[in-house]
Copies of this chain bind each other. A is one copy, B any other.
Amino acid sequence: MTIKDKLAERAGRVENFLEQCLHDKGVPNRLFAAMDYSLLAGGKRMRPVLTLSWASMLGGNAEAVMPFAAGLECIHTYSLIHDDLPAMDDDDLRRGRPSNHKQFGEATAILAGDGLLTEAFGLMTAASIVNGVPADRVLRSIAVLAGAAGAGGMVGGQVVDMEFTGRDGVSLEELRGMHAMKTGALITAACECGAILSGAAEGDIDNAREFGKAIGVAFQIMDDVLDVISDTETLGKPAGSDEEMGKITYPSLIGLEKSKTLAGEYIDGAVRRLSGQSGAEQEFLVELARYIVDRVY
């Protein structure tokens, strides 16, 4: 089984849960439709897959952790809906379909995002209340996730990104800091929470967090690289759009080759964090990390 197949299989398991995790009881039809529309719009389900894999590798019960992992995907989805809004990035398309506000109107899109963000935390509690994961582990994970998704993390990163647009002289350090907040924090929390929920030792929780940080940076670098070297068909969005929009990227700051080398170094760092582990989940996480860079070639 290739890593692509493995990823698809795991995404499928998450997908099955996502399809029935939102309840329409007492929810206005239009709102439910809007939340469902974006939550079930596909995607690699990378964040929940990471949570489940880290939890399994460290002795946790992936099935019990599933609602928490689904909550992470709800948070990721809400962030995409709000980022696409006219007042933000003003994107009409998302994954080849009309973005949420194009399909349901701006007011409903804002509220669908709010609903998904709120529902996310309800889902997380179910890992304990319904599935019996100890309450203190879930509570600590919620704290980690709220920090990662909030004003000092993902939400703050969006503000910094907006401030960069059109600004001259953004440094590599600033770029890295922005991405660490905007996309890195949630990926990092996905790994860290998987470890926390499994009841792992503090050292393993540290490893999960540092693994997440490293693959988050590598992922962003390779996204920038792909935008330069891919053709539009492979990419699924217009290639070269970053350059066209004057976006500050790793290739624009340090060049293409150095970007790829840097991403590889981050991945090596991530893989080292797995050296104390073994078994199928460890193997999967190593392959997943390598795939982030290798998918380019």
Contacts and interface: CB of A to CB of B under 8 A. Distances in A.
Contacts of A129: 139-140, 143
Interface string A152-192: 10011011101100000000000000000100000000000
A113 B139 CA distance: 23
A25 interface: yes
A146 B121 contact: yes
Number of this chain's copies in the complex: 2
Interface in A114-172: 114-115, 117-119, 121-122, 125-126, 128-129, 134-136, 138-140, 142-143, 146-147, 149-152, 155-156, 158-160, 162-163
A253 interface: no
Given A114-B82, A115-B155, A152-B25, A139 B138 contact: yes
A236 interface: no
B107 A149 contact: no
A228 interface: no
Contacts of A136: 128, 135
Interface stretch (A26-34, A200-208, A244-252, A285-293): A26-34
A125 B107 contact: no
Contact of A126 (B82, B85, B143, B159): B143
Given A122-B150, A143-B126, A158 B117 contact: no
A53 interface: no
A107 B88 contact: yes
Interface of A: 22-23, 25-28, 30-32, 35, 78, 82, 85, 87-88, 105-108, 110-111, 113-115, 117-119, 121-122, 125-126, 128-129, 134-136, 138-140, 142-143, 146-147, 149-152, 155-156, 158-160, 162-163, 181
